[in-house]
Amino acid sequence: MKLKIAICDDEAAQRAYLLDVVGVWAKRNRHVTEIKDYPSAEAFLFDYEEEKDFDILLLDIEMPGMSGVELAKKVRPGNPSIQLVFITGFYEYFGDGFDVSALHYLIKPANVDKLYPVLDRAVDNLSYRQRSVLLNTSEGDIKLSLADIVYIEADKMYLMVHTMKETYRVRMTLAKMTELLDDTFFKVHRSYIVGLKYVKKITHTDVYMSDGSLVPISRGMYQEVHEALIKNL
């Protein structure tokens, strides 16, 4: 698989270490990779403005100037597929990646036994992104990546398929759509299916989605939704 990977850390030794171990991982798995390293979030964003085609971003959290979390919040809205991996020396930051759908957290030093499985999982997610559904809309057939679907809402004889950018109205039953999805989606209500990667928060009555939407949870479904989220962390 061809991959473009960025390493963002203000410590030169950490960048050199990650460049080495990621390069070994790529060679072992026969991935064609372009790996770039950056000493700051600002340096990465300078390149990113020109080339928004990075697949994996390994980034420190505490850096002078813009933090890794702030960087992730700038990148995520326009790039739902990029795999964000935080590598930090501080456990207290673990909750900060929820809003940006971080793939994983690793504590420095990130040894290969822990880093390599995370990179493998990132590749699996990127491969999954290539899976699509064909939606028959009034404007014609639209090929939509599963990874772009935030949630699906049943509206009488139609479905409203919501992404971060657009909503598509499709003549299809929720049951039929369910057959086209995988376990990264979960039916939280008789009229709603959510993309688990876009869930920000759940309560006993609602699911808070990354696009700002509020999706209802059926009574008694909280525990099932909670368990589904845990499985898809």
In this structure, the answer to whether residues 160 and 184 fall within a common structural domain is yes
How would residue 150 be classed by pLDDT, with cut points 50, 70 and 90? very high
In this structure, the answer to whether residues 142 and 213 fall within a common structural domain is yes
Beta strands 214-216 and 206-209, pairing class: antiparallel
pTM > 0.75: no
In this structure, the answer to whether residues 75 and 101 fall within a common structural domain is yes
In this structure, the answer to whether residues 13 and 116 fall within a common structural domain is yes
In this structure, the answer to whether residues 111 and 144 fall within a common structural domain is no
What domain range includes position 168? 132-231
In this structure, the answer to whether residues 136 and 24 fall within a common structural domain is no
pLDDT at 130: 61
In this structure, the answer to whether residues 146 and 116 fall within a common structural domain is no
Please identify, among 129, 153, 172, the residue that sits at the C-terminal boundary of a domain: 129
Domain count, the chain: 2
In this structure, the answer to whether residues 42 and 106 fall within a common structural domain is yes
* CATH code where residue 25 lies: 3.40.50.2300
* CATH code where residue 156 lies: 2.40.50.1020
Long-range contacts of 33-38 (CB under 8 A, 24+ apart): 33/2, 33/3, 33/4, 33/5, 34/3, 34/4, 34/5, 35/5, 35/6, 35/7, 36/4, 36/5, 36/6, 36/7, 37/6, 37/7, 37/8, 37/9, 38/6, 38/7, 38/8, 38/9
Please write the tens of the pLDDT for every residue from 34-84: 999 999 999 999 999 888 889 999 999 889 999 888 998 898 887 878 899
What is the average pLDDT value for the chain, to the nearest integer? 88
pLDDT at 1: 67
In this structure, the answer to whether residues 215 and 165 fall within a common structural domain is yes
